[in-house]
């Protein structure tokens, strides 16, 4: 009788451990797949946005390639506007990018950027995921 009890307990414990390990590995695999799908979806979305705001994104990307640490963007009316700040920023001029304001609103709506100050010269913060995806896409 004790042998049967020990065998039953051993079988139960091994079955439980096998089930738990299987569940863990399945969840881990699912998480990895979801992460890959999410990244692919984000890149597809960025490619779609690039079609609607190619000049703006190209300018932001060029500035990020020159200075990879940049994470803020300011919108100024034209290049005659004097702008100095202790912190480097991507500077976009509406005169050369007439659709920039609406394109930035589009990027903000998607969650790629966040407006941190209002007024005549709006200041935006680039999300890290956006900056990375933008430079990785090309």
83 and 76 in contact (C-beta within 8 Å)?
Answer: yes
What Rg, from alpha-carbon coordinates, does the chain have?
A: 25
Model confidence pLDDT, tens digit, residues 98-114: 999 999 999 999 899 99
pLDDT at residue 137, as a whole number: 61
pLDDT at residue 3, as a whole number: 64
* Cα–Cα–Cα angle for 91, 96, 99, rounded to 5 degrees: 90
Using the predicted structure, report yes or no on whether residue 1 has a pLDDT greater than 60: no
Tokens of 122: 């709006």
pLDDT band at 127 (very low <50, low <70, confident <90, very high): very high
Model confidence pLDDT, tens digit, residues 36-65: 887 777 777 778 888 889 999 999 999 999
Mean pLDDT score, 14-41: 81
pLDDT at residue 75, as a whole number: 93
pLDDT at residue 66, as a whole number: 93
Q: How far apart are CA 55 and CA 78, in angstroms?
A: 16
Closest CA to 134 of 37, 77, 62, 27: 62
96 and 81 in contact (C-beta within 8 Å)?
Answer: no
Helix (H, G, I), strand (E, B) or coil at 89: coil
Q: What is the pTM of this model?
A: 0.67
pLDDT at residue 138, as a whole number: 54
């Amino acid at each position: 009788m004790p042998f049967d009890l020990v065998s039953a307990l051993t079988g139960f414990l091994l079955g439980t451990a096998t089930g738990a390990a299987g569940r863990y590995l399945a969840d881990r695999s699912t998480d990895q797949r979801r992460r890959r799908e999410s990244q692919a979806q984000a890149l597809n979305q960025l490619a779609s946005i690039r079609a609607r705001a190619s000049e703006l994104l190209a300018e932001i990307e060029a500035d990020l390639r020159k200075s990879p640490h940049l994470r803020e963007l300011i919108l100024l009316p034209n290049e005659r506007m004097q702008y100095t700040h202790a912190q480097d920023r991507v500077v976009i001029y509406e005169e050369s990018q007439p659709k920039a304001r609406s394109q930035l609103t589009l990027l903000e709506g998607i969650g790629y950027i966040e407006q941190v100050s209002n007024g005549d010269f709006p200041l935006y913060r680039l999300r890290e995921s956006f900056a990375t995806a933008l430079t990785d896409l090309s």
